[in-house]
């Protein structure tokens, strides 16, 4: 059985991943409202990824026979208007918060000599490197374009080609019928 402190911290991480999904859903909505369909799609794919991050912890807790303790999800806290650059900056700022949370979970698992959880969390440590890299690259690309509408237009088309790689059928995922990434 997992230690109660790691159970609570993993449940809090489920909550933070759900909040991440909320942030990306809100960013997608802001982009759709301005007819940036490619950016909107990119953020909505990210929303799916965040739901997968949450469900992967949910499955781990179930597999460990630990309780799932779902709490209210924090609002996205986005203004009604947001530029493309501000949207990508928000995503990086958010990912840095998630990375800090994952690292503190790893420290707790180590403190508790919880080798299984420490190993499970390695997937998230690696994933966060990718998440921050993607967010940073998007900021660099938008900054290079500056205020060029045609530049943004082409970037919108390019990011709109992003494809979802995470599982989306969570009923099958939890039943072990859908492959994990």
Longest dimension (CA), the chain: 56
Query: What track of x and - describes contact with ligand FEO for positions 148 through 177 (by CB under 6 A)?
Result: ------------------------------
**Could you say whether residue 118 binds ligand FEO (CB under 6 A)?**
no
Considering the complex, state which of residue 50 and residue 114 has its C-beta at the smaller distance from ligand FEO.
50
Among 2, 7, 14, 17, binds ligand FEO (CB under 6 A): 17
Query: What track of x and - describes contact with ligand FEO for positions 83 through 102 (by CB under 6 A)?
Result: ------------x--x----
CB burial of 79-113 (b: ≥16 within 10 Å; e: otherwise) equals: eeebebbebbbbbbebbeebbebbeebbebbeeee
Q: What's the angle, vertex CA 109, arms to CA 49 and CA 122, rounded to 5? A: 40
Min separation Cβ 154 and ligand FEO, Å: 25
**Could you say whether residue 50 binds ligand FEO (CB under 6 A)?**
yes
- Write down the residue that tokens 């490197």 correspond to: 129
**Could you say whether residue 19 binds ligand FEO (CB under 6 A)?**
no
Considering the complex, state which of residue 114 and residue 131 has its C-beta at the smaller distance from ligand FEO.
131
Considering the complex, state which of residue 128 and residue 141 has its C-beta at the smaller distance from ligand FEO.
128
Q: How many CA atoms lie within 13 A of 49 on its CB side?
A: 20
- Write down the residue that tokens 């992003």 correspond to: 162
**Could you say whether residue 28 binds ligand FEO (CB under 6 A)?**
no
- Write down the residue that tokens 């492959």 correspond to: 179
69 in Cβ contact with 105 (< 8 Å):
no
Min separation Cβ 103 and ligand FEO, Å: 13
Q: Which tokens hold the place of 112?
A: 């508790």
């Amino acid at each position: 059985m997992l230690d109660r402190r790691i159970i609570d911290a993993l449940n809090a991480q489920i909550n933070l991943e759900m909040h991440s999904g909320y942030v990306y859903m809100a960013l997608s909505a802001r982009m759709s409202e301005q007819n940036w369909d490619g950016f909107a799609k990119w953020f909505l794919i990210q929303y799916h990824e965040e739901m997968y991050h949450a469900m992967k912890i949910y499955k781990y807790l179930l597999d460990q026979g630990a309780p799932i303790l779902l709490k209210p999800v924090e609002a996205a806290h986005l203004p009604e208007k947001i530029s493309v650059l501000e949207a990508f900056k928000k995503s990086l700022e958010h990912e840095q918060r998630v990375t800090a949370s994952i690292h503190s979970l790893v420290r707790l698992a180590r403190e508790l000599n919880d080798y299984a959880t420490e190993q499970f969390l390695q997937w998230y440590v690696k994933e966060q490197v990718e998440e921050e890299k993607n967010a940073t690259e998007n900021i660099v690309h938008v900054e290079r374009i500056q205020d060029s509408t045609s530049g943004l237009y082409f970037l919108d088309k390019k990011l709109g080609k992003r494809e979802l790689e995470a599982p989306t059928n969570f009923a099958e995922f939890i039943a072990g019928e859908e492959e994990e990434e």
